[in-house]
Structure 1
Amino acid sequence: MSRTDSALDASQVARARALLKTPERHDPMWPALVAATALAVTSVVFATVMVLAPPLQTQHVVESAPG
């Protein structure tokens, strides 16, 4: 009997090895993309509001100071 001869079925051994192999864990990408998109949209909105908002003080402090 040679070394390549075996009483085990090769396909069944391969199936058993595949079942015993630990599954690879893949981290989902969508939470990071949602967070990055939210941050980008928020920063653009704040920048737009900052440019379009009227100034809080419309006259110079020196002109309104007493004396």
Structure 2
Amino acid sequence: MPTADSALDADQIARARALLVRRKRPERTWPVLAAAALLAVSALAFATAMILAPPLVSEHVAHQRAAQ
């Protein structure tokens, strides 16, 4: 009596299973690096804008008119 009770060829079934196994794709690092670079550039731009912005001076018009 044969060891395989199936009419299918065991070698072909093993080959089909091997073909169906998904290959692992390497993880891409460029999206992560692009996001980090974008955040770094935007943080530097925001810091530059805060440094170069004129200082806030708030004086009420009523105080200026009273002094004159």
Task: Please give the TM-score of this superposition, normalised by the length of structure 2.
Answer: 0.49
Structure possessing the higher relative contact order (Cα contacts under 8 Å, 6 or more residues apart) = 2
Task: Please give the TM-score of this superposition, normalised by the length of structure 1.
Answer: 0.49
